[in-house]
Amino acid sequence: MDAANSMLDMHAADQILIYPALAKGGSFTTRHISLHARTAMWLIEQFLPVTFTIAEPAGQIHVIVILLRKLP
C-alpha cells in the first residue's frame, strides 16, 4: 500500500483532527469515525473557523477539513 492509499485507524483519526484544522485544511482517510472523533470535530469547529466534511466512498471514510475564514 502506498502513501496515497494509506489509512488511519480510528484511534489515530481521533488524535489527528486538530492538526489539519490548525494547518488551515487537509484531509485523511480512515475505516471508522468514532463518537469521540465526531465530538472532537464539533468542539474544534467551536474554536476554529473550520468545518469537517465526511465522505464515505467504497467502504472508506474520507475526512476533509475546510478553512472557512483566515486564521488570525
Which residues are part of the catalytic machinery?
36
* SS3 of residue 37 by DSSP: helix
Closest CA to 28 of 43, 9, 48: 9
Sheet order of strands, 26-30 included: 26-30, 61-67, 50-55
